[in-house]
Amino acid sequence: MPTLQMPLHESEAIVLQSYTLGEADRLVSFLSRTMGRMRGVAAGARRPKSRFGSTLERLSHIRIWFFERETRELVRISQCEMIESFLDAFRDYSASVVLALFSEITEAVLPDREASDANFRLLLLASQTVKRTGKHELSLAYFALWTVKLGGWLPSLDRCGSCGVTLAPDAPVYFSPSAQTLACPRCRRGGMRSVVPGAIALAQKMLTERLDRLADASTPSSSGAPLTRDIRELTEIMLNVIEHQIDRKLTSRELLESPA
């Protein structure tokens, strides 16, 4: 009987998670730029002299080669080549929590085997900005906002979702993840929380500027308490939206306020 040939695929990818499998293997969840979120087995990856080296560490930006069969969910990872490592960034506790959130959110919101170049570029840009600048709070707010935007869950930021009135920059604004709309005081409903006006303005800015430019422009003199408050407010709102959409709590989020 002839041997069935499995097609070999090559893709740029980002490692989302890596788990122990058996005595010597690893089960790897990765985001392929061309094929979407996938899972595969890296045989022998836990051996001391494995050919995979450190390429399977979380958020490693790699080039990956793998085989797949139509009848099997898991692909067989043949080879990986490192493009960029984030091991050094993970050595800082706060940065490591944010980077872990990036991978957990990406794995939770993206369906299997559905390519999303926008989400791939977002994950890579946010991770690179944390690594380059150490500004993990700004990067997390940007990443969470754009994840909500790309998921189709972001409400209009300049109009009341109920009556359609234009929301003035300094006017009171209210929001709840379940309603998925911003509301003016007249249309406020029970359970809606007040939103700091600066957080809405920050979100609007983030939707028009790249994260790396925002991070470079955020100098010590311009990143005081008001901006920090706005960043944290925006992050909390967007993470609440994400948790509402995936219908569970984000494990890594619990570590945000924990001491190192």
- pLDDT tens digits, one per residue of 16-65: 999 999 999 999 999 999 999 999 999 999 998 888 999 999 999 999 99
Give me the half-sphere count of Cα atoms (radius 13 Å) on the Cβ side of residue 251: 5
**Tell me, what's the pLDDT at 168?**
87
CATH number of 8-84: 2.40.50.140
The class of domain 90-255 in CATH terms is mainly alpha
Average pLDDT, the chain: 91
- pLDDT tens digits, one per residue of 183-200: 999 999 988 999 988 999
Alpha-carbon span 20 to 34, nearest angstrom = 26
- pLDDT tens digits, one per residue of 134-160: 889 999 999 999 999 999 999 999 999
Alpha-carbon span 188 to 203, nearest angstrom = 21
Phi, psi of 25 (to 5 degrees): -105, 170
All structural domains of the chain with their residue ranges: 8-84, 90-255
Which residues lie below 8 Å from residue 3, measured CB to CB, with a gap of 6+? Answer: none
